[in-house]
Structure 1
């Protein structure tokens, strides 16, 4: 029973306060999608959609380090490299100990290429093949298992939202 002798019980009071906090526009309420968190990206395509927990590589130092020397990567995790402007990029696997899929993304968040199963420690350049603003690295073979391919869309608040094919807001 929520009200007892004209007074709110503790349980009813907590429930009422919780309901108020969940209403849009109430102070403290979150009105954005939980996917629009800087540590997550979402990819959608014919397969549906999938989320990854990511580390961001935004600075030249973070990008140079990347996933080097790591012995493992959690299954639904990765690293998102974001550049200041769209350009021609190439990656390699120097000092990278685990196989990776590299997902090259243009300024709209559209995937322009997926390079599967990059070979650990291989220094052969892996070019995007198209203007690229961001690259998502995930465990090798995972993109194929999930069905991620060129033409699919990636969203992240780290990408410019004004040009996004699939914006966060």
Structure 2
């Protein structure tokens, strides 16, 4: 069985998460189920201070995998404007089966960053998250 690889998607940066030290992470927003399914597949490593945000309308159990992802990622699971859990330095998965990553508690969003970026920026579970929409 062969799987056709999805084309990489480059979504517009329409949100930002500004940290307490005033550095801001520019976020592509994966809003639709299709955008969320493709995520960062087939994309090279993100630059510093760039990420993808997966917002959900209500908290749910979320798990993400790394099938067809080219670069390791940090996955930050959010709930009620706080970081609940971080899956750091998640490795790529070139073929099935792939492990899934996610906390045991419901989340209402996920931010994916390049591997090591959460540590570099000092982001930890319990931190406040203030994501705002922006337009250029």
The reply to whether TM is greater than 0.5 is yes
Structure 1 residues 38, 80: CA separation in 2 closer, same or farther (over 3 Å shift)?
Answer: same
Q: Match of 1:68?
A: 41
1:1-169, aligned counterparts within 5 Å? 38-44=14-20, 48-106=21-79, 108-121=80-93, 123-157=98-132
For the residues of structure 2 that align with 1:118 and 1:62, how far apart are their CA atoms? 20
> What TM-score comes out, normalization by structure 2 length?
0.80
Equivalent-residue separation in structure 1 for 2:86 and 2:43 (angstroms): 21
Please give the alpha-carbon distance, in whole angstroms, between the structure 1 residues aligned to 2:49 and 2:91.
Answer: 19
Larger % of strand: which? 2
TM-score by length of 1: 0.65
Contact 1:101 1:140 (C-alpha < 8 Å) held by counterparts:
yes
Deviation at 1:42, TM superposition (A): 2.1
Q: Which runs of 5+ in 1 are unaligned?
A: 1-36, 159-169
**4+ residue segments displaced more than 3 Å:** none
Write the deviation string for residues 109-158 of structure 1: whole angstroms up to 9, x where unpaired: 11000110000126201022322001000010111122111000111236
Please state which structure has a larger fraction of its residues in helix: 1
CA RMSD, Structure 1 to Structure 2 (Å): 1.7
Choose 1 or 2 for highest CA Rg. 1
Identify the structure with bigger relative contact order (alpha carbons < 8 Å, sequence gap 6+): 2
Gaps of 5+ in 2: 1-12
Q: Aligned partners of 1:126, 1:43: CA distance in 2, in Å?
A: 24
In 2, the alpha carbon distance for the partners of 1:138 and 1:49 equals 17
